[in-house]
């Protein structure tokens, strides 16, 4: 008997050595699939031995970097021995926060596979960790991944306590991860608690999405299962495509032909097929980058890979010249996206004064080079106690990382890099030294208002708004003509009123707006630090309309928008013709009145005109110039004659003045936003086509462009329809739809946004 035991032990030790045969530099160069294939008989032998060999496998877990550790974990999953519970728990605790954390997933699967015997030790470990405010995600996942009433009761107790005592768990409990496996427990009575959790406004957008996903999986497990199956089919389709023999040259020619016809969806479909089989095709990579750039997505890394592969494959000089030309265009678009604020982005912050977590809009994000630090365009203050003593949470930092990744893919923007040094008074100094430097300069020149203005600007950059306001007030006390101070004050107090809902801030904003208008009209002011002086009058007019101080232009009330748009609906050509005939005289009178009051009107707006012979509509996207007398005063507000003022702008067709729908003045750039939906793409497009307020101008299998119409207007003996904005519905993963809206002024954007959201709620 002893000889048999020794023989078995020797066989097991020999198997262990065989399992370790690839634990060397040569073995680490092999892929996982190749190593597993070579070890398949050895792995099978271990599994057949079962409990007999388990004690010999546990020591392998001490060397997480090795192949033998990886396959030992997989073998334990199949053997399901209670003896492995403690070693697996220790493995996760030792490695979850290390370089080889991915291996913890195998340990988690092994514990779930062991099942009920693992519950008591896991539950004891997790409770102990929670008491110490420690969260091991893989240990929690191993526990909650086992379906059992005891585990469900523990999860429900923690969730209920989290909702009642959020601050107790804030900063260490990953609530979206913790609640994920409620779908495994399959108890619908937890839904009210999960819905209450999902509505808590301190959670980040990602956390809310994950929790809502869990709710959907519990409500409709069958659908959730189908979604997973669809994903698997998608992967299988890709794998099948990899094995197919395709004609790369033919597909490239088709892609180029589709691109020339601006059929980018089909062009990209051809490219995807090529890259699935030939991922190193620099021709396909280049086309992918170029087409996406035309779609407004600067995929820098795709072009970089194309250039790298072209070098390796010794492409011609002509190819590199074309690629270099494209690289410049992509870089230009990428830089533009970096500086394009994502107005919908919210980051998760925690107030260090009142300890409340919350989501705040940062505006443009500046990342200080090689520091991991960020500055924000918008004022960041606690919504509860109005303290500026706030910091990004772990979730908030992850959100910025996600935003940077989306920027890298050309899907978003608003994260720009800035250097550690900047120019101040012809000196290059460290960014952190600017504010202290300006404070020293103020001591040297205490009567210099411009220095105070610059100190205020620097303080704002670092979210020191109380200091900034103090410096601004001192600046206009020393020099009341510093017009930039009033611009800054209007921006600060308007934002506090609109975003943070500080009531008294509205009065402050109006006070400084009136002073700004008065100073501007005097034409006797100091424009120091004002970088966009040419757009100052537009800024003033926009704010006057916003605060209802304008006498010429009135804001359309939200409750009137639906009726206004309904009356001006131009869904089909017949109704358009009737509108034109019925309203031509009224529109002409209104247009002439505006021409007379404003000494001429130049309209920057996409709009629709109609061919009387064919009864067809045509969309014009350039500036429409109404008759204007160059010998009269320019309506930009400069009090100079047009011929001596903005005539060059008119010739270049740059945005210049007001839209004449009584809404507001045009902005230099359109206002854009994205609306997330869970709607089916095909059904959503169909519903918008049925809505009389929207006109579908273009539809493909992956996107649909809709126009949202506003009031009629008269120009050059023709009537057109002002387009309030455009809506683009895009197909995203699994036939789900996303919506992008765009308009050229805030009021138009508000009207468009209101109509789209109203439609989605119907």
d(CA 484, CA 15): 78
d(CA 490, CA 147): 58
d(CA 343, CA 320): 37
How many beta carbons lie within 10 A of that of residue 1, not counting itself? 5
Instruction: Give per-residue pLDDT as tens, 357-384.
Output: 999 999 999 999 888 899 999 999 999 9
State the pLDDT confidence band at 348, using cuts at 50, 70 and 90.
Answer: very high
pLDDT at 557 over 90: no
Hey, which bits of 45-179 come out as E strands?
none
Interior CA angle at 418 toward 413 and 424, to 5°?
135
d(CA 598, CA 665): 13
d(CA 431, CA 422): 6
648, exposed or middle or buried, with CB in 10 Å at 0-12, 13-18, 19+? exposed
Residue 720's pLDDT is: 39
Range from 379-393, 508-522, 694-708 carrying the lowest mean pLDDT: 694-708
In Å, how far are 333, 550, 564, 574, 583 from 711, measured between CA atoms? 34, 20, 8, 17, 11
- The token duo for 417 is 């890099």
Helices 104-114 and 67-79: angle between axes, nearest 10 degrees: 10
pLDDT at 668 over 90: no
Residue 752's pLDDT is: 83
Residue 656's pLDDT is: 39
Mean pLDDT over 529-558 rounds to 71
d(CA 24, CA 663): 72
Torsion of CA 88, 91, 92, 95, to 10 degrees: -160
Q: Between these two residues, 245 and 354, which has the higher pLDDT value?
A: 354
Q: What is the CA radius of gyration of the chain?
A: 32
Residue 744's pLDDT is: 66
Instruction: Give per-residue pLDDT as tens, 280-325.
Output: 999 999 999 999 998 888 999 899 999 999 999 999 999 999 999 9
State the pLDDT confidence band at 604, using cuts at 50, 70 and 90.
Answer: very low
Mean pLDDT over 420-430 rounds to 87
Helix, coil or strand: residue 480: coil
State the architecture of 2-224 in CATH terms.
Alpha Horseshoe (1.25)
Residue 285: name the closest of 329, 316, 319, 318 by CA: 319
CATH of the structural domain 421-531, one choice from 3.40.50.150, 1.20.120.640, 1.25.40.10, 1.10.8.50: 1.25.40.10
Q: Where are the alpha helices (DSSP H) in 244-344?
A: 248-260, 264-277, 282-294, 300-312, 317-338
Q: Spell out the SS3 assignment of 604-626.
A: CCCEEEEECCCCEEEEECCCEEC
pLDDT at 326 over 70: yes
Quick check: pTM over 0.85? no
Pairing of strands 736-743, 718-731: antiparallel
Is residue 121 within 8 A of residue 89, CB to CB? The reply is yes
pLDDT at 684 over 70: yes
Residue 677's pLDDT is: 83
pLDDT at 236 over 90: no
pLDDT at 415 over 90: yes
pLDDT at 245 over 70: no
Q: Which residues contact 315 (CB under 8 A, 6 or more apart)?
A: 282
Interior CA angle at 524 toward 520 and 530, to 5°?
60
Q: Between these two residues, 244 and 414, which has the higher pLDDT value?
A: 414
Instruction: Give per-residue pLDDT as tens, 210-234.
Output: 999 999 999 887 775 666 666 666 5
Residue 539's pLDDT is: 82
Task: Note the maximum CA span of the chain.
Answer: 116
Q: Between these two residues, 319 and 243, which has the higher pLDDT value?
A: 319
Mean pLDDT of the chain: 81
d(CA 438, CA 645): 37
In Å, how far are 303, 364, 504, 556, 727 from 412, measured between CA atoms? 18, 12, 35, 31, 17
Q: Which residues contact 429 (CB under 8 A, 6 or more apart)?
A: 421, 422, 437
pLDDT at 615 over 70: no
Instruction: Give per-residue pLDDT as tens, 146-200.
Output: 999 999 999 999 999 999 999 899 889 999 999 999 999 989 999 999 999 999 9
User: H/E element holding 723?
Assistant: strand 718-731
CATH of the structural domain 226-338, one choice from 1.20.58, 1.10.287, 2.60.40, 1.25.40: 1.25.40
d(CA 369, CA 472): 29
Residue 81's pLDDT is: 95
Instruction: Give per-residue pLDDT as tens, 252-291.
Output: 999 999 998 888 889 999 998 899 888 899 999 999 999 9
pLDDT at 64 over 60: yes
Q: Do domains 226-338 and 421-531 have the same CATH topology?
A: yes
Question: What DSSP designation does 735 have?
Answer: G
pLDDT at 549 over 50: yes
Is residue 540 within 8 A of residue 486, CB to CB? The reply is no
Highest mean pLDDT among 156-160, 634-638, 733-737: 156-160
Residue 471's pLDDT is: 97
Helix, coil or strand: residue 665: strand
pLDDT at 689 over 80: yes
d(CA 534, CA 707): 30
State the pLDDT confidence band at 107, using cuts at 50, 70 and 90.
Answer: very high
Which residues in 430-459 are b (16+ Cβ under 10 Å) and which e?
ebeebbebbeebbeeeeeebbbbbbbbbbb
Q: Which residues contact 258 (CB under 8 A, 6 or more apart)?
A: 264, 266, 267, 270
What's the gap between Cα 670 and its chain centre? 18
Mean pLDDT over 579-585 rounds to 40
Mean pLDDT over 385-408 rounds to 92
Instruction: Give per-residue pLDDT as tens, 8-36.
Output: 677 788 889 999 999 999 999 998 989 99
User: H/E element holding 673?
Assistant: strand 671-680
d(CA 734, CA 679): 11
pLDDT at 664 over 60: no
pLDDT at 637 over 60: no
Is residue 549 within 8 A of residue 512, CB to CB? The reply is no
Residue ranges per structural domain of the chain: 2-224, 226-338, 347-418, 421-531, 558-761
State the pLDDT confidence band at 422, using cuts at 50, 70 and 90.
Answer: confident
In Å, how far are 252, 625, 650 from 646, measured between CA atoms? 48, 13, 7
Residue 126: name the closest of 112, 143, 113, 109 by CA: 143
pLDDT at 566 over 80: no
Residue 189's pLDDT is: 95
Is residue 458 within 8 A of residue 471, CB to CB? The reply is no
Residues listed for the chain:
762
Residue 735's pLDDT is: 75
Question: What DSSP designation does 529 have?
Answer: T
pLDDT at 518 over 80: yes
Instruction: Give per-residue pLDDT as tens, 439-483.
Output: 999 999 999 999 999 999 999 999 999 999 999 999 999 999 999
pLDDT at 575 over 50: no
Residue 712's pLDDT is: 40
User: H/E element holding 671?
Assistant: strand 671-680
Q: Which residues contact 21 (CB under 8 A, 6 or more apart)?
A: 27, 39
Residue 226's pLDDT is: 64
């Amino acid at each position: 008997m002893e000889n048999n035991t020794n023989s078995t032990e020797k066989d097991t030790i020999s198997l262990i050595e065989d399992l370790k045969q690839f634990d060397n530099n040569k073995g680490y160069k092999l892929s996982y699939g190749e190593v597993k294939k070579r070890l398949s008989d050895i792995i099978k032998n271990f599994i057949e031995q079962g409990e007999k060999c388990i004690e010999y496998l546990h020591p392998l877990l001490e060397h997480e970097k090795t192949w033998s550790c990886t396959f030992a974990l997989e073998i334990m999953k199949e053997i399901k021995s209670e003896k492995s519970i403690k070693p697996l728990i220790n493995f996760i605790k030792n490695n979850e926060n290390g370089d080889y954390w991915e291996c913890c997933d195998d340990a988690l699967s092994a514990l779930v596979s062991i099942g009920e015997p693992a519950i008591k030790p896991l539950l004891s470990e997790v409770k102990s960790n929670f008491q110490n405010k420690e969260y091991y995600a893989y240990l929690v996942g191993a526990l909650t991944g086992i379906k059992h009433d005891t585990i469900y009761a523990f999860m429900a107790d923690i969730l209920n306590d989290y909702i009642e005592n959020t601050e107790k768990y804030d900063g260490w409990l990953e609530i979206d991860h913790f609640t994920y496996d409620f779908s495994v427990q399959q108890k619908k009575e937890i839904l009210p608690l999960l819905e209450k959790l999902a509505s808590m406004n301190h959670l980040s957008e990602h956390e809310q999405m994950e929790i809502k996903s869990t709710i959907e999986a519990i409500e409709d497990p069958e659908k959730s299962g189908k979604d997973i199956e669809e994903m698997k089919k998608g992967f299988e389709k890709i794998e099948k495509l990899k094995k197919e023999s395709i004609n790369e040259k033919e597909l490239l020619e088709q892609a180029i032909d589709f691109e020339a016809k601006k059929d980018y969806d089909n062009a990209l479909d051809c490219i995807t097929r090529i890259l699935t089989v030939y991922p190193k095709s620099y021709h396909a990579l280049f086309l992918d980058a170029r087409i996406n750039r035309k779609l407004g997505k600067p995929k820098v890394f795709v072009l970089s890979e194309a250039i790298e592969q072209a070098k390796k494959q010794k492409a011609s000089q002509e190819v590199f010249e074309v690629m270099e030309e494209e690289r410049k265009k992509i870089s230009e678009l990428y830089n533009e996206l970096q500086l394009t604020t994502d107005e919908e982005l919210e980051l998760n912050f925690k107030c260090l004064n009142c300890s409340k977590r919350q989501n705040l809009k940062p505006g443009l994000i500046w990342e200080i080079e090689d520091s991991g630090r960020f500055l924000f365009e918008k004022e960041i203050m606690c919504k509860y106690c109005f303290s500026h003593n706030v910091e990004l949470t772990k979730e908030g930092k992850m959100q910025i990382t996600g935003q940077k990744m989306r920027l890298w893919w050309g899907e978003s923007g608003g994260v720009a890099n800035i250097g550690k040094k900047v120019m101040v008074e012809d000196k290059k100094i460290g960014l952190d030294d600017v504010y202290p430097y300006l404070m020293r300069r103020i001591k040297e020149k205490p009567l210099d208002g411009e220095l105070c203005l610059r100190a205020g600007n620097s303080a704002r950059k670092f979210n020191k708004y109380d200091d900034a306001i103090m410096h601004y007030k001192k600046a206009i006390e020393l020099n009341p003509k510093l017009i930039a101070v009033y611009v800054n004050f209007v921006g600060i107090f308007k934002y506090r009123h609109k975003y943070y809902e500080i009531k008294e801030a509205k009065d402050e904003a109006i006070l400084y707006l009136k002073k700004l208008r008065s100073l501007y009209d005097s034409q006797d002011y100091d424009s120091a630090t004002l970088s966009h002086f040419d757009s100052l009058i537009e800024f003033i007019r926009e704010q006057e309309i916003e605060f209802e101080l304008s006498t010429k232009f009135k804001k359309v009330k939200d409750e009137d928008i639906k009726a206004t748009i309904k009356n001006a609906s131009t869904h089909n050509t017949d109704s358009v013709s009737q509108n034109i005939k019925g309203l031509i005289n009224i529109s002409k009178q209104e247009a002439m009145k505006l021409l007379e009051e404003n000494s001429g009107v130049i309209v920057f707006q996409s709009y629709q005109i109609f061919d009387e012979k064919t009864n067809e509509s045509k969309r014009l996207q350039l500036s429409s110039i109404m008759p204007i007398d160059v010998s009269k005063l320019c309506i930009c507000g400069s009090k100079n004659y047009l011929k001596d003022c903005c005539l060059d702008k008119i010739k270049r067709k740059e945005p210049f003045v007001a839209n004449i729908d009584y809404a507001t003045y045009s902005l230099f750039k359109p206002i854009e936003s994205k609306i997330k939906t869970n709607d089916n793409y095909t059904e959503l497009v169909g519903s918008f086509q049925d809505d009389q307020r929207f006109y579908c101008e273009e539809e493909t299998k992956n996107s649909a462009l809709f126009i949202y119409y506003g009031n009629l207007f008269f120009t050059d003996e023709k009537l057109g329809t002002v387009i309030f904005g455009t809506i683009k519905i895009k197909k995203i993963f699994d036939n789900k739809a996303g919506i992008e809206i765009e308009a050229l002024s805030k009021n138009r954007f508000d009207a468009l946004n209101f109509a789209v959201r109203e439609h989605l709620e119907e």
